């Protein structure tokens, strides 16, 4: 993205740029030959993520809201939740009850980027009633002081939360609430305090918590990516800055940090190099930081298509079902360089748009004559981060019925291409590929090679969860790493109660709690030490349980099912 094109309108926009609907948010990589540093970008209200990325804010009136204007990698992608007897099967309960190990996650922080947390819930309090939360950044609350050098939201310290808990009206002091409940559930599964009356145990009940309550994505991004209006949607730039807050706060507290990511998206090349995945990878270069991600719940949703042509000029017809009225949706096409493909369209009534040759920075809108439907097609022959061919397709008020996309190969190498519809929750469930492929359905950011990625299985019967996303990555990296329980997992809910949850979010929460226990074990060695992120991952792999009738690693189970106590058994055996 060339920042020489940027300018600020003469009329002032009063609202804070990160939260103002009048500003566009852009993910900018500033380690470039131009030598442009964050200091030189002051006029764009920069917020530094790390040594590679900065978030810029420009007035929407300047037009940097589309992939054509700003580039695909620069536009924040949209994320949503990954949820739709487990402690015993994963070896966590055995580890917690082992008196010599004496592990609870003490001294370790677990960080969450989610819908917030019910900080008044007993699951997040010590026996004396004080909070186990060491820091809370509420991005939605603009009344207080933001953390670090950031310019939006309000940070609440452990002291302020304890003051609120001692008050007869806690929300008058710390007004943060989790209205959706997802963040409360995930944090509770990972490290909630025990409640024997509800038969509830968090995986790491002695750990501390860091929480980022994400603000909802801006409307211009929701409109551009055509998300469902009622869906909870979070934007990539806020997650990236949330990671920075977690890492910097943990460093200031001089404690190791496990980051739990229970959100995902299908937007991106699925090769592990999205901006958020790059930030998560680089965060683990800091000693004592570990990232656990959820593979997703996309295998059975019909949102992925894998195509194969035999030679140059060969054609594949991809059929797309639209079984309900919708304002629109997006579809992404990805193919490895140097292959090139043209894309054409046929509507349910037979109106045809001939395949459009791929061209650099091409963008065009097509209006159908006989139907109230429009299609916009954007090509990037060399997408910035992956180097792949990308086609971003936007269907606006598409007619109900069977759409056909004609994919024509123009430059042949291996003839493979992939297409993804939005993740479940961001698109009408009646929109799917007619002949979907359940593989390569891992969601971003779980594809980064450095992070620990878990699929989901049912601990009650040992079967893979039907919708558990499958590997590998588009470029063949072995993912997921292992499988964790995620069906009917007991969790806290706002206002003090308990319920159960199923899905990839629960699996990633259990893995995060187990990671905190293992990190604590490292700190309790005769010579205390932080494991490297790679060490932690491989310790988990050594403890996994594998079935005799399967070959490992595989697309569904990775290297096997998580068994925390199995790690110690393997070390004793060796």
Q: Give mean pLDDT, residues 332-345.
A: 97
- Above 50 in pLDDT, residue 320? yes
Contact 343, 393 (CB under 8 A): yes
Query: Helix crossing, 236-253 with 275-283: angle to 10°?
Result: 10
pLDDT of residue 97: 64
pLDDT of residue 14: 56
- Above 80 in pLDDT, residue 337? yes
- Above 60 in pLDDT, residue 6? no
DSSP H helices, 451-547, are 504-523, 533-543
pLDDT of residue 282: 96
DSSP H helices, 5-62, are none
Residue 304 is among the residues annotated as catalytic for this protein? no
For residue 548, count other CB atoms closer than 10 A to its CB: 4
Length of the chain: 574
List, in sequence order, every beta strand (DSSP E) within 108-170: 109-114, 133-138, 154-157
Residue 114 is among the residues annotated as catalytic for this protein? yes
pLDDT of residue 360: 86
Contact 543, 569 (CB under 8 A): yes
Q: Count, in order, helices (H) and strands (E) of the chain.
A: 11, 27
Helix (H) or strand (E) holding 47: strand 47-48
Average pLDDT, the chain: 92
Lowest-confidence segment of 172-181, 403-412, 522-531 by average pLDDT: 522-531
- Above 50 in pLDDT, residue 129? yes
Rounded CA-CA distance 547/563 in Å is 13
- Above 60 in pLDDT, residue 86? no
Give the percent of the chain with pLDDT over 70: 93
Per the model's pLDDT, the better-predicted residue between 76 and 86 turns out to be 76
- Above 90 in pLDDT, residue 429? yes
Listed residue (246, 334, 261, 337) closest to 293, CA to CA: 261
pLDDT of residue 318: 98
Token digits of residue 174:
């710390």
- For 548-574, what is each residue's pLDDT tens digit? 999 999 999 999 999 999 998 888 765
Rounded CA-CA distance 95/447 in Å is 29
Rounded CA-CA distance 234/240 in Å is 11
pLDDT band, very low/low/confident/very high, at 4 (cuts 50, 70, 90): very low
Residues contacting 554, CB < 8 A, separation 6+: 471
pLDDT of residue 572: 77
Q: What are 260's strand-pairing partners?
A: 112, 292
Catalytic residue among 182, 270, 303, 467: 182
φ, ψ at 519 (rounded to 5°): -65, -40
pLDDT of residue 390: 97
pLDDT of residue 378: 97
Per the model's pLDDT, the better-predicted residue between 2 and 548 turns out to be 548
pLDDT of residue 1: 47
Listed residue (267, 262, 298) closest to 180, CA to CA: 262
For residue 326, count other CB atoms closer than 10 A to its CB: 18
pLDDT of residue 555: 97
Give the sign of the dihedral formed by CA 95, CA 98, CA 104, CA 108. negative
Listed residue (42, 28, 38) closest to 70, CA to CA: 28
- Above 80 in pLDDT, residue 15? no
Q: Give mean pLDDT, residues 456-484.
A: 96
Give the percent of the chain with pLDDT over 90: 83
pLDDT band, very low/low/confident/very high, at 5 (cuts 50, 70, 90): very low
- Above 80 in pLDDT, residue 267? yes
- Above 70 in pLDDT, residue 177? yes
Rounded CA-CA distance 513/515 in Å is 5
Question: What is the rounded radius of gyration, in angstroms, for the C-alpha atoms of the chain?
Answer: 24
Query: Helix crossing, 504-523 with 182-191: angle to 10°?
Result: 40
φ, ψ at 391 (rounded to 5°): -125, 120
pLDDT of residue 3: 44
pLDDT of residue 35: 53
Per-residue DSSP letter, 245: H
- For residue 29, CA distances in Å to 54, 55, 237 come to 6, 9, 12
pLDDT band, very low/low/confident/very high, at 196 (cuts 50, 70, 90): confident
Catalytic residue among 83, 274, 505, 508: 505
Q: Give mean pLDDT, residues 401-416.
A: 97
pLDDT of residue 480: 98
Per the model's pLDDT, the better-predicted residue between 212 and 570 turns out to be 212
Q: Please, what's the b/e burial string for 374-384 (b: 16 or more CB within 10 A of its CB; e: otherwise)? A: ebbbbbbbebe
Token digits of residue 99:
């008196």
- Above 80 in pLDDT, residue 375? yes
Q: What are 402's strand-pairing partners?
A: 321
Helix (H) or strand (E) holding 258: strand 257-261
Q: Give mean pLDDT, residues 158-187.
A: 96
SS3 183: helix
Q: Give mean pLDDT, residues 270-282.
A: 97
Catalytic residue among 20, 57, 90, 114: 114
Contact 131, 86 (CB under 8 A): no
Listed residue (50, 49, 16, 39) closest to 238, CA to CA: 49
User: Strand order in 257-261's β-sheet?
Assistant: 154-157, 133-138, 208-213, 109-114, 257-261, 289-294, 452-457, 482-485
- For residue 318, CA distances in Å to 306, 307, 453 come to 9, 8, 30
CA 432 to chain centre: 21
Token digits of residue 40:
């030189």
Rounded CA-CA distance 292/187 in Å is 13
Q: Give mean pLDDT, residues 483-509.
A: 93
């Amino acid at each position: 993205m060339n920042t020489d094109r940027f300018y600020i309108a003469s009329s002032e926009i009063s609202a804070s740029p990160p939260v103002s609907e009048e500003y566009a948010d852009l993910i900018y990589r500033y380690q470039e030959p131009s030598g442009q540093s964050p200091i030189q970008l002051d006029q764009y209200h920069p917020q530094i993520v790390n040594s590679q990325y900065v978030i810029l804010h420009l007035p929407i009136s300047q037009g940097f809201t589309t992939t054509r204007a700003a580039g695909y990698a620069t536009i924040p992608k949209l994320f949503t939740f990954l949820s739709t007897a487990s402690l015993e099967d994963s070896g966590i309960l055995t580890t917690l009850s082992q008196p010599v190990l004496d592990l609870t996650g003490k001294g370790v922080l677990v960080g969450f980027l989610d819908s917030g947390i019910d900080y008044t819930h007993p699951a997040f309090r010590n026996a004396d009633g004080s909070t186990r939360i060491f820091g809370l950044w509420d991005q939605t609350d603009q009344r207080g002081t933001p953390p670090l050098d950031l310019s939006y939201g309000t940070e609440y310290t452990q002291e302020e939360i304890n003051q609120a808990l001692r008050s007869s009206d806690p929300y008058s002091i710390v007004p943060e609430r989790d209205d959706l409940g997802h963040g409360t559930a995930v944090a509770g599964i990972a490290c909630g305090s025990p409640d024997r009356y509800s038969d509830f145990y968090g995986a790491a009940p002695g750990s501390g918590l860091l929480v980022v309550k994400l603000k909802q994505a801006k409307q211009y991004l929701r409109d551009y990516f055509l998300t469902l209006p009622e869906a909870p949607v979070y934007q990539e730039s806020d997650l990236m800055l949330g990671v920075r807050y977690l890492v910097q706060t943990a460093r200031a507290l001089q404690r190791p940090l496990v980051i739990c990511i229970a959100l995902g998206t299908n937007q991106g090349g699925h090769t592990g190099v999205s901006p958020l995945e790059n930030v998560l990878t680089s965060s683990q270069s800091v000693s004592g930081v570990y990232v656990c991600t959820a593979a997703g719940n996309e295998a059975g949703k019909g949102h992925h298509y894998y195509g194969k042509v035999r030679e140059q000029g060969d054609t594949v017809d991809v059929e797309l079902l639209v079984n309900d009225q919708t304002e629109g949706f997006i579809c992404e096409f990805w193919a490895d360089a140097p292959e090139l493909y043209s894309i054409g369209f046929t509507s349910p009534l037979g109106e045809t748009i001939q395949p459009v040759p791929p061209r650099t920075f091409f963008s065009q809108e097509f209006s159908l004559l006989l139907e109230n439907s429009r299609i916009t097609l954007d090509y990037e022959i060399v997408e910035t981060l992956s180097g792949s061919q990308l086609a971003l397709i936007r269907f606006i008020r598409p007619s109900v019925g069977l759409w056909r996309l004609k994919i024509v190969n123009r430059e042949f190498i291996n003839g493979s291409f992939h297409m993804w519809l939005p993740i479940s929750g961001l698109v009408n469930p009646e929109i799917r590929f007619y002949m979907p492929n359940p593989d390569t359905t891992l969601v971003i950011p779980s594809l980064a090679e450095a992070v620990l990625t878990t699929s989901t299985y049912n601990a009650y019967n040992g079967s893979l969860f039907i919708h558990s996303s499958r590997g590998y990555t588009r470029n063949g990296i072995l993912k997921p790493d292992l499988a964790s329980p995620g069906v009917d997992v007991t969790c806290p809910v706002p206002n003090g109660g308990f319920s159960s949850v199923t899905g990839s979010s629960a699996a990633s929460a259990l893995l995060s709690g187990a990671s905190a226990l293992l990190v604590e074990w490292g700190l309790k060695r005769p010579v205390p030490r932080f494991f490297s992120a790679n060490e932690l991952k491989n310790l988990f792999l050594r403890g996994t349980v594998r079935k005799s009738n399967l070959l490992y690693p595989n697309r569904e189970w990775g290297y096997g099912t998580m068994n925390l106590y199995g790690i110690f058994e393997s070390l004793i055996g060796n």
